[in-house]
């Protein structure tokens, strides 16, 4: 089976063209392929499939085999992949996901793709949509997140997938490996959650580290950067256009007057290969 290995600021994926390759058990394949010793190694597996309502369907599987509703960094990678592999002549692409239709736009310099700007859609703020337990019509801003012997205050946002954003004075002081999985699987989150620790640098910049649902610590998270922007604006910490500094690089995010969040950043293809099935 042919594959392409791509990343968005270090958040890396194996991309498989499901229009050409026959894939049966996506979840099992994701666990095998994402293993960094016994497989190719990646944070996730992305399968391209046909769509009736968009140019393509993008299905995303975390390295633990769970399927995610949406993935921001993967949407940039897929947009570049379908253009450069000749699957579409378009630079404005639509992708059907479990979170709805996502619209990445390729940006060029001297005929080379330099970055991708993605319309991530509208953030979902009510507990029922995220989901977070409690009154489904209530927001979840600065709510207590109680672990056995630690209490955090989080702002929960969905970009189609759930995020719990916790503002701290120093992200480097957070033991993400210990705390991340406890919050990811807290009873507060019926479908688990991605966990972002955020240090506000000024009204236009934040530093964010992420423990991803189903994948653990990653170097970048596009939906996480988008949810972080929404949380920072809702708690009046930043303006509506910021740079998110992540371990793997920067993402630019903006909350437009149309209530859509736009996320921009690079997407790189690292290598192509053949995986025995």
Q: Does 121 bind ligand API (CB under 6 A)?
A: no
CB-nearer residue toward ligand API: 7 or 127? 7
CB-nearer residue toward ligand API: 177 or 202? 177
Which of these segments, 17-25, 148-156, 167-175, 222-230, binds ligand API (CB under 6 A)? 222-230
Instruction: Given the residues 71, 77, 156, 164, select the one marked as catalytic.
Output: 71
Q: Does 214 bind ligand API (CB under 6 A)?
A: yes
71 is annotated as an active-site residue:
yes
Q: Write the binding mask 147 to 166 for ligand API: x where contact by CB under 6 A, - elsewhere.
A: --------------x-----
Q: How far is the CB of 164 from ligand API (least distance, A)?
A: 11
Q: Does 222 bind ligand API (CB under 6 A)?
A: yes
34 is annotated as an active-site residue:
no
- 3-state SS string over the chain? CEEEEEEECCEEEEEEECCCCCCCCHHHHHHHHHCCCCCCCCCEEEEEECCCCCCEEEEEEECCCCEECCCHHHHHHHHHHHHHCCCCCCCECCEEECCEEEEEEEEEECCEEEEEEEECCCCECECCCCCCCCCCCCECCCEEEECCCCEEEEEEEECCCEEEEEECCCHHHCCHHHHHHHHHCCCCCCCCCEEEEEEEEECCEEEEEEEECCCEEECCCHHHHHHHHHHHHHCCCCCCEEEEEECCEEEEEEECCCCCEEEEECCEEEEEEECCC
Q: Does 71 bind ligand API (CB under 6 A)?
A: yes
Q: Return residues touching ligand API (CB under 6 A).
A: 11, 44, 60, 62, 68, 71-73, 161, 194, 212-215, 218, 221-224
Which are the catalytic amino acids? 71, 221
């Amino acid at each position: 089976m042919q594959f392409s290995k791509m990343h968005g600021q270090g958040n890396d994926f194996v991309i498989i063209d499901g229009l050409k390759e026959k894939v049966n058990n996506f979840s099992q394949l994701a666990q095998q392929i994402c293993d960094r010793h016994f497989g190719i190694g990646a944070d996730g597996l992305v399968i391209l499939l046909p769509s009736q309502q968009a140019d393509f369907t993008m299905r995303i599987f975390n390295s633990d085999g769970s399927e995610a509703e949406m993935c921001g960094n993967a949407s940039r990678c897929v947009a570049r992949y379908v253009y450069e592999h000749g699957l579409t002549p378009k630079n404005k692409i639509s992708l059907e996901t479990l979170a709805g239709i996502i619209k990445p736009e390729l940006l060029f310099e001297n005929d080379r793709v330099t970055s991708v700007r993605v319309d991530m859609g509208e953030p979902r703020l009510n507990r029922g949509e995220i989901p977070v337990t409690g009154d489904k019509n209530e927001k979840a801003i600065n709510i207590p997140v109680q672990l056995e012997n630690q209490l955090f205050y989080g702002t929960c946002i969905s970009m189609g997938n759930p995020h719990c954003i916790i503002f701290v004075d120093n992200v480097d002081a957070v033991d993400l490996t210990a705390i991340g999985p406890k919050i990811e699987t807290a009873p507060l989150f019926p479908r688990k959650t991605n966990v972002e620790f955020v240090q506000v640098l000024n009204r236009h910049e934040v530093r964010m580290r992420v423990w991803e649902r189903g994948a653990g610590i990653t170097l970048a998270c596009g939906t996480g950067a988008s949810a972080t922007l929404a949380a920072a604006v809702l708690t009046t910490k930043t303006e509506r256009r910021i740079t998110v500094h992540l371990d793997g690089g920067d993402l630019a995010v903006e909350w437009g007057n149309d209530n859509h969040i736009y996320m921009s950043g690079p997407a790189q293809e690292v290598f192509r290969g053949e995986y025995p099935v």
